[in-house]
Homo-oligomer: A and B are copies of this chain.
Amino acid sequence: MKKIITISREYGSGGRDIAKMTAEKLGYTFYDQAIINTVSEATGLNPDYIKKFGENTRRSHIFNYGYNGYMGIGFTGFSLPDYLWQKQRELILYIAGIGNCVIVGRCADYILRERDDCLNVFIHADMESRKKRAIEVYGDPNKNIEKVLKDKDKTRKTNYRYYTDQIWGDASNYHLTLDSSEFGIEKCADFITYLAKQ
Contact = CB atoms under 8 A, between A and B. Distances in A.
Interface in A45-64: none
Most buried by B among A167, A169, A171, A187: A171
A51 to B, nearest CB: 25
12 contacts: A10-B172, A119-B182, A169-B170, A169-B172, A172-B179, A175-B178, A175-B179, A176-B176, A176-B178, A176-B179, A183-B198, A191-B191
A118 to B, nearest CB: 10
Interface string A186-198: 0100010001001
Range of interface residues on A (Cβ < 8 Å): 20 to 34
Most buried by B among A122, A167, A178: A178
Contact of A175 (B169, B175, B182, B195): B182
Interface of A: 10, 119, 122, 124, 167, 169-172, 174-179, 182-183, 187, 191, 195, 198
Nearest to A169: B171
The 4 closest A-B pairs by CB, nearest first: A171-B177, A177-B177, A175-B179, A175-B182
B183 A175 contact: yes
A195 B177 CA distance: 13
Nearest to A119: B182
A122 to B, nearest CB: 5
A174 B179 contact: yes
